[in-house]
C-alpha cells in the first residue's frame, strides 16, 4: 500500500509539473507574439517619421530657393522701373478677405448751430478670415447714395483717393484702426438715411467692397424735413364752475327824522386807593450772655477723664 500511494503521489506531481510547464510555454508564446507586433508597429512609425522629416527638409529647401528667386525678380523689375510689391505687402494681400465698416465710428455730423448734418465720418478696414485688421495699399472709391431721391439721381457724392492719399488716410488708434475719411456732402441729402459704398482696389488687382447705412438729419431747405417727435395733445381749458349767487336782503336807508344827534357817553372815573401803612417793627428780646464756669469739663460728674489719671492708674500690659 505504501508503494502504491507513493507511486500515485509521484504521478500526481508529474501531471502538475507537466501542466505548469505547458501553461508557462503558452504564456511565453503569447508574450513573445505581442512584443513582435509592437516592435513591428514601432518600426512602421519610425519609417513614417523619417519620411516626413525628409519631405520637410525638401520643402524648406524649396521655400528658400523660391524666396531667392523672388528677390532676384524684384531686383530685376525694380531696375526696369516697374513697381514691385514687397514681401510684407504680399503677405498682407494673401491674408485679406473682406472690407468692413466700423459701425460705431461711422455716421453723420453736424458742426454748426443750424439744423441738419452737413458732413459724415467713415472708418473702414480690410480684415482676414479671423476678423483681424490687415493694412493694405491701393486705390479707394467712396460713394454716398440717398435712397429717397429718384433712381437716376441717387448719388449725392463720390470721392476717389490715390495710393499716396490712401497711405495718409490710414488711422491706427487705440479703439480702432482703418481708413478714416471725413467729407462734406457734395449734394445735400433729402432723406434721413444715406448708404455709403466703399471700394478698395489693391495693387494685385483685387477689389473689395463694403456698404453701410447711416442715419442723419436733413438740412433745412433741401426738401426733407427733420424727424419730429410726436407732439403732446393740447391741454383742454378748464371751465370755471357755474353757480347762482343768492339774493341778499336790502336794508332800507333810515329816514332823516330817524337819525338823531348822537349823545356823548359818560366818561368812566377811576378811584385810586391810598397805600396802607407799613406794620410796626416788633422789638427783639435780648438773651443774657453765657458765662463759662471754671470747672467746666467735657464729662461733668463723677466720670473720670484722661486728664485726671495718674501714672499709677494707667493700666499696663502684663
pLDDT for the residue numbered 185: 93
CB atoms within 10 A of CB 178: 24
C-alpha cell at 22: 505547458
pLDDT of residue 229: 47
* Confidence (pLDDT) at 69: 79
Q: Grid coordinates in use for 74?
A: 524684384
Between the CA of residue 271 and those of 268, 274, 276, 277, what are the distances in Å? 10, 10, 15, 19
CA distance 198 to 214: 13
Residue ranges in the chain whose pLDDT is less than 50: 1-2, 4, 225-227, 229
DSSP string covering the chain, please?
Answer: -HHHHHHHHHHHHHHHHHHHHHHHHHHHHHHHHHHHHHHHHHHHHHHHHHHHHHHHHHHHHHHHHHHHHHHHHHHHHHHTT-----HHHHHHHHH--EEEE-GGG-EEE--SSSSS--EEEEEEEEE-TT--B----EEEEEEEE-TTS-GGG-EEEEEEE-HHHHHHHEEE-SS-EEEEEEEE-SS---SSEEEEEEEEEETTS-EEEEEEEEE--PPTTSS-----PPPPPPPPPPPPPP-PPPPPPPPPPPPGGG--PPPPPPPPP---PPPPPPPPPPPPPPPPPP---TT--SS-SS---GGG--TTTS----
Residue bearing cell 506531481:
13
Instruction: Give the pLDDT of residue 63.
Output: 86
To the question of pTM greater than 0.75 for the whole model, the response is no
* Rg of the chain (C-alpha set): 63
Share of the chain above pLDDT 90, in %: 31
**What tens digit of pLDDT does each residue of 206-230 get?**
899 999 999 999 887 665 544 454 5
What's residue 178's pLDDT?
95
Amino acid at each position: 500500500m505504501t508503494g502504491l500511494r507513493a507511486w500515485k503521489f509521484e504521478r500526481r506531481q508529474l501531471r502538475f509539473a507537466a501542466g505548469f510547464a505547458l501553461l508557462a510555454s503558452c504564456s511565453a508564446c503569447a508574450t513573445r507574439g505581442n512584443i513582435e507586433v509592437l516592435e513591428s508597429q514601432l518600426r512602421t512609425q519610425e519609417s513614417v517619421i523619417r519620411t516626413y522629416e525628409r519631405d520637410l527638409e525638401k520643402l524648406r529647401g524649396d521655400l528658400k530657393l523660391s524666396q531667392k528667386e523672388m528677390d532676384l525678380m524684384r531686383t530685376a523689375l525694380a531696375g526696369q522701373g516697374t513697381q514691385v510689391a514687397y514681401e510684407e505687402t504680399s503677405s498682407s494681400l494673401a491674408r485679406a478677405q473682406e472690407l468692413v465698416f466700423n459701425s460705431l465710428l461711422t455716421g453723420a455730423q453736424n458742426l454748426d448751430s443750424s439744423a441738419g448734418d452737413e458732413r459724415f465720418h467713415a472708418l473702414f478696414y480690410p480684415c482676414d478670415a479671423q476678423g483681424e485688421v490687415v493694412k493694405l495699399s491701393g486705390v479707394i472709391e467712396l460713394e454716398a447714395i440717398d435712397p429717397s431721391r429718384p433712381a437716376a439721381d441717387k448719388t449725392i457724392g463720390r470721392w476717389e483717393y490715390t495710393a499716396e492719399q490712401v497711405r495718409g488716410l490710414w488711422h491706427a488708434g487705440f479703439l480702432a484702426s482703418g481708413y478714416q475719411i471725413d467729407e462734406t456732402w457734395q449734394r445735400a441729402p433729402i432723406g434721413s438715411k444715406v448708404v455709403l459704398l466703399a471700394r478698395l482696389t489693391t495693387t494685385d488687382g483685387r477689389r473689395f467692397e463694403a456698404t453701410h447705412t447711416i442715419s442723419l438729419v436733413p438740412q433745412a431747405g433741401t426738401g426733407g424735413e427733420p424727424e419730429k417727435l410726436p407732439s403732446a395733445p393740447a391741454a383742454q381749458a378748464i371751465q370755471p364752475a357755474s353757480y347762482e349767487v343768492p339774493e341778499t336782503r336790502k336794508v332800507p336807508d333810515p329816514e332823516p327824522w330817524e337819525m338823531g344827534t348822537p349823545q356823548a357817553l359818560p366818561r368812566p372815573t377811576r378811584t385810586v386807593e391810598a397805600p396802607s401803612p407799613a406794620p410796626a417793627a416788633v422789638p427783639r428780646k435780648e438773651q443774657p450772655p453765657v458765662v463759662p464756669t471754671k470747672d467746666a469739663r467735657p464729662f461733668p460728674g463723677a466720670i473720670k477723664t484722661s486728664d485726671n489719671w495718674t501714672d499709677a492708674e494707667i493700666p499696663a500690659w502684663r
